[in-house]
């Protein structure tokens, strides 16, 4: 009889699944209801300082399709928001973009580069090899990658601001100048800890959009492109074998370390800091990156990835739930379908001074995470070593402009510190005296900094 009738355990499985499903749906509905506020919308715009300049530059040269980039970028925003349940950013692959612009690569080569990187990263995720890399990578190296990326963002932000005209003078222009950059910086820092209530990113973006409209329609360039409503479609792009080989060898190899370390491992660490209740696993992030480009690049979309800098920027400007990027994704799809490539003129007129400040703030927020490198570590020697390793990683990343070199430099430093402490005894008197000035007992500041990042930012 027991073999015919279902056991109590079997009968509970469907009910358990149904209850779990209902609980998940109810939780998501509560998140959606609470997420429709200005802070979330403002946070969704926090990463535009990275997206707009790169996407515009590649689309104006015909190396990517602006319509496809908007549509697929919006689609990935929605899908990753629903999957990870956090404001997971979707941003261009910066190394591929830089090499493509420098070497004047064709659209097929750019698409091949994006697909090549994604295939490798996705393989690391499917085989869980990326998880092994994360497990054996010291936290001090990860924090160094984040700090180095933050400093790089600061340099790129300065380049954007320097495209504007100087303070009031002979070559001064009203629409793009240092005054706008100073104003934007004041607005951001004045309401830095009020991002949930004061939508600073949305305020700055709206001001820049108004300036771009006025500039485009009152003082247009000779070959100005005006927004034109219609229905825009995308077409399939199939790279040739020569384009695939050129794209992979020229651009993919340099992007693979950047994507694996910053867009997957460092991002997973930051997501755990900011959203400890919903951590994102490295295999899932790696697979997400792979799927985005193995699909989108066949239609001419710019190669996309995730990134710790983008998540930090969106969080700083008010994004706390997936609602922010779902809204952003819907807006991208709307403008991609009904305005498409006709938006290139408006984007080109957008003041780089404001975009530069938004990128600068995202770098600050990402770099600030490095302060937690010694959380929970009370031994002064270990704290000193962690700090040295972090600085070494960041310095080599910035100096060589390569995440892979920074990672290897930090890893070598960490291994040397480990071998030195294990086989060569204690530190010499000078270094030991430097690390023992504050004593061995953890201070109040150390205990305070050991709180979760979410509590510190409140």
Please check whether residue 154 is in contact with residue 363, taking contact to mean a CB–CB distance below 8 angstroms.
Answer: yes
Q: Which of 94, 86, 92 is nearest to 28 (CA)?
A: 86
pLDDT at 21: 61
Closest Cα to residue 453, out of 366, 332, 357?
366
Q: What pLDDT shows up at residue 17? A: 56
Rg of the chain's alpha carbons, rounded to an integer? 24
Beta-bridge mates of residue 186: none
Q: Are 314 and 325 in contact (CB under 8 A)?
A: yes
Cα dist. 303→6, 123, 204, 419 in Å? 51, 17, 27, 41
Residue 387: what pLDDT?
94
Q: How far is CA 445 from CA 147, 375, 391, in A?
A: 21, 11, 21
How high is the pLDDT of residue 169? 72
CB 308 within 8 A of CB 149: yes
Query: For residue 116, what is the DSSP state?
Result: H
- Cα gap 370→391, rounded to integer Å: 10
Question: Exposed, middle or buried: residue 2 (CB in 10 Å: 0-12, 13-18, 19+)?
Answer: exposed
Distance between CA atoms of residues 316 and 356, nearest Å? 16
User: 298-344 pLDDT, tens per residue?
Assistant: 999 999 999 888 888 888 888 888 899 999 999 999 999 999 999 99
What's the distance, CA 136 to chain centroid? 23
State the Cα–Cα distance between residues 5 and 180, nearest whole angstrom.
Answer: 75
Question: In sequence order, which residues have a C-beta less than 8 Å from that of residue 458 and are 6 or more positions away?
Answer: none
Tokens linked to 304 = 């996309």
Give the DSSP letter of residue 165: B
User: 139-162 and 352-368 are packed helices; what angle lies between their axes, rounded to 10 degrees?
Assistant: 160
Q: Which residue has the tokens 């938006």?
A: 343
CB 308 within 8 A of CB 366: yes
Termini Cα distance of the chain: 60
- Give the residue ranges of the chain where pLDDT is below 70: 1-22, 24, 34-35, 195-196, 254, 425-458
Q: Quote the pLDDT of residue 6.
A: 41
Residues 74, 107: Cα–Cα separation, whole Å: 21
SS3 for 172-197 is CCCCCEHHHHHHHHHHHHHCHHHCCC
408, two tokens: 């290897």
Q: What is the pLDDT, as a whole number, of residue 44?
A: 86
Nearest Cα residue to 352 out of 42, 49, 77, 37: 49
Residue (of 139, 15, 53, 26) closest to 356 by Cα position: 53
Contact 45, 205 (CB under 8 A): yes
């Amino acid at each position: 009889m027991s073999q015919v009738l279902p056991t109590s355990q079997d009968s509970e499985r469907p009910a358990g699944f149904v209850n779990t499903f209902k609980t998940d749906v109810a939780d998501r509905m509560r998140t959606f209801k609470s997420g429709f506020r200005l802070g979330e919308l403002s946070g969704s715009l926090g990463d535009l300082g990275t997206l707009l300049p790169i996407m515009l530059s590649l689309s104006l040269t015909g190396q990517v399709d602006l319509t496809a980039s908007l549509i697929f970028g919006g689609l990935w925003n929605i899908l990753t928001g629903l999957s990870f349940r956090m404001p997971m950013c979707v941003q261009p692959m910066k190394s591929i973009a830089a090499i493509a612009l420098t070497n004047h690569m064709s659209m097929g080569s750019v698409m091949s580069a994006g697909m090549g990187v994604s295939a490798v990263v996705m393989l690391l995720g499917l085989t869980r090899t990326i998880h092994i890399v994360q497990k054996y990578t010291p936290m001090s190296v990860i924090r160094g990658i984040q700090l180095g990326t933050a400093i790089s963002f600061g340099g790129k932000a300065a380049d954007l601001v320097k495209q504007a005209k100087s303070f009031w003078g002979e070559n001064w222009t009203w629409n793009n100048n240092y005054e706008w950059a100073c104003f934007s910086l004041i607005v951001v820092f004045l309401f830095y800890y009020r991002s949930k209530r004061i939508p600073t990113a949305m305020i700055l973006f709206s001001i820049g959009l108004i300036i771009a409209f006025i500039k485009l329609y009152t003082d247009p360039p000779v070959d100005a492109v005006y927004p034109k409503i219609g229905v825009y479609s995308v077409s399939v792009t199939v790279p040739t074998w020569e384009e695939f080989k050129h794209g992979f060898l020229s651009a993919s190899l340099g992007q693979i370390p950047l994507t694996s370390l910053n867009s997957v491992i460092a991002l997973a660490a930051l997501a755990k800091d900011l959203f400890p209740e919903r951590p994102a696993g490295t295999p899932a992030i790696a697979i997400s990156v792979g799927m985005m480009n193995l699909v989108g690049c066949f239609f001419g979309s710019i190669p996309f990835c995730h990134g710790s800098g983008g998540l930090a920027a969106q969080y700083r400007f008010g994004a706390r739930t997936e609602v922010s990027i779902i809204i952003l994704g819907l807006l991208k799809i709307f403008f991609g379908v009904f305005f498409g490539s006709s938006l290139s003129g408006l984007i080109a007129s957008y003041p780089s001074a404001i975009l530069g400040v938004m990128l600068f703030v995202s770098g600050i927020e990402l770099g600030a995470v490095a302060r937690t490198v010694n959380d929970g570590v009370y031994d002064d020697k270990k704290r000193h070593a962690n700090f040295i390793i972090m600085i070494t990683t960041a310095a080599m990343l910035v100096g060589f402009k390569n995440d892979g070199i920074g990672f290897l430099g930090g890893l070598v430093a960490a291994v040397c510190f480990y071998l030195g402490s294990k086989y060569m005894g204690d530190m010499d008197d000078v270094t030991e005296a430097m690390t023992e000035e504050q004593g061995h007992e953890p201070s109040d500041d150390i205990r305070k900094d050991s709180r979760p990042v979410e509590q510190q930012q409140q």
